A and B are shown apart, each in its own frame.
Chain A
Amino acid sequence: MTPGGAPSWSFGPADSKKIEEVLDTLLYESNARCALLVDRTGQLVVTVGEQPDFDSAAFASLTAADFSANDQLASLIGEEEFSSLFHQGRSESMYLADVGKRLILVVLFNKQTTLGLVRIKIRNAVSDLNKAFEEVFGRERGEARPLERDFVNEAEDEIDRLFRE
């Protein structure tokens, strides 16, 4: 987006289809409930499986924070990274895995399956996702120049409308 060196990234329906296929397979094979992809800046990219009934924007931002905080912890104890994290609850658990340092795969599961199975299946999924995203991130920034000029004008009007006393 800016010459400041902070490129936006984008992906289209074809990418999305590929990614959802990987996640569908993961859910099917692992018997987990739901999989979410979150980017490292805290934005939700995609959700597959049972639609979660929590606030997914908050969930995504906390996931990214969780992972980042753990990266820092890893480096403090001399590890390069913790490539995955596991949070165990009484009935619901979640497993988080790094995808190419840009995304985090979160899988929610319960007693219908086991940590061992989920972990193995996630490993496969991560490698497939890495392949899929290599393409997305390898793309020239210029190719994704999508927004019509009117977008800016309309967004500005909307900003004025929304942010007023």
Chain B
Amino acid sequence: MSMINYASREINCKIVYYGPGLGGKTTNLEYIFNKVAPNTRGKLISLATESERTLFFDFLPVDLGTIRGFKTRFHLYTVPGQVYYNASRKLILKGVDGVVFVADSQVERLDANIESMHNLYENLAEYGYDLRQIPFVIQYNKRDLPNVSPVEELDQHLNPDRVPSYEGVATTGVGVFDTLKAVAKLVIKSLG
């Protein structure tokens, strides 16, 4: 539910990074925060526990600048991955314009990925959204680790509709911008 404000000529789009706990969502936002020009982004807000696990969400606004007279901005959010924080996760999905699913490629996290993907479908459905109709991309993260599942296998389990997917190493930034660019463009297209 992007908001188009004709009075102040602003467009704000909400992109949510979803996925199992410790998959690398927060790391994606930190990388973006550190790499985009400082004058184009706001503060990175993290509601985290003392141990730096996301408690409620991370939030990063990024400014695309003025396009055809509209100040255009992306609001990037992450959700907490832990199963028991579902209430928070659902709240963050409210009004979402685009979703990035950050999967943890490690073999032993496959079930956690699948569970989180189901949870995403369910939470969206409760708002009456259908993931197949929303701008959606997947990032297979942690490709630097030795014990990762092949992408084909991850696709098979997590990506039946074959939405765009990217291999990532969020800690070094591999795939982070490719992922963001892809979802951002899909969101913009959906406005046009």
Residues of chain A at the chain B interface (Cβ within 8 Å): 1-13, 15-17, 39-43, 45-46, 55, 57-58, 61-62, 64-65, 68-69, 72, 144, 146-152, 154-156, 158-160, 162-165
Contacts and interface: CB of A to CB of B under 8 A. Distances in A.
25 contacts: A1-B97, A2-B133, A2-B134, A5-B127, A5-B133, A8-B1, A8-B3, A8-B4, A12-B6, A12-B7, A42-B75, A57-B42, A57-B61, A58-B43, A61-B77, A64-B94, A72-B91, A148-B68, A151-B68, A156-B185, A158-B67, A162-B62, A163-B36, A165-B173, A165-B177
A61 B180 contact: no
Contacts of B70: 147, 151
Contact of B191 (A1, A43, A55): A1
Interface in B90-109: 91-92, 94-97
A15 B5 CA distance: 10
B64 interface: yes
Interface residues of B, number: 60
B72 interface: yes
B157 interface: no
B49 interface: no
A115 to B, nearest CB: 27
Contacts, number: 164
A42 to B, nearest CB: 7
B56 A69 contact: yes
Interface string B170-184: 000100010011001
Given A4-B133, A165-B173, A40 B94 contact: yes
Nearest to B47: A65
A11 B6 CA distance: 6
B146 to A, nearest CB: 25
B64 A57 contact: no
A11 B5 contact: yes
Given A58-B59, A69-B56, A41 B7 contact: no
Interface of B: 1-8, 12, 14, 32, 35-37, 40, 42-43, 45, 47, 56-57, 59, 61-62, 64-65, 67-68, 70, 72-73, 75, 77, 87-88, 91-92, 94-97, 127-130, 132-135, 173, 177, 180-181, 184-185, 188-192
Given A43-B12, A65-B57, A150-B68, A159 B188 contact: yes
A8 to B, nearest CB: 5
Nearest to A76: B87
Given A2-B135, A42-B75, 19 more contacts: A2-B190, A3-B133, A5-B128, A5-B133, A6-B134, A8-B3, A9-B4, A10-B3, A10-B4, A11-B5, A62-B59, A144-B4, A146-B4, A151-B70, A155-B185, A162-B37, A163-B181, A163-B184, A165-B177
Given A2-B133, A165-B35, A152 B191 contact: yes
B192 A149 contact: yes
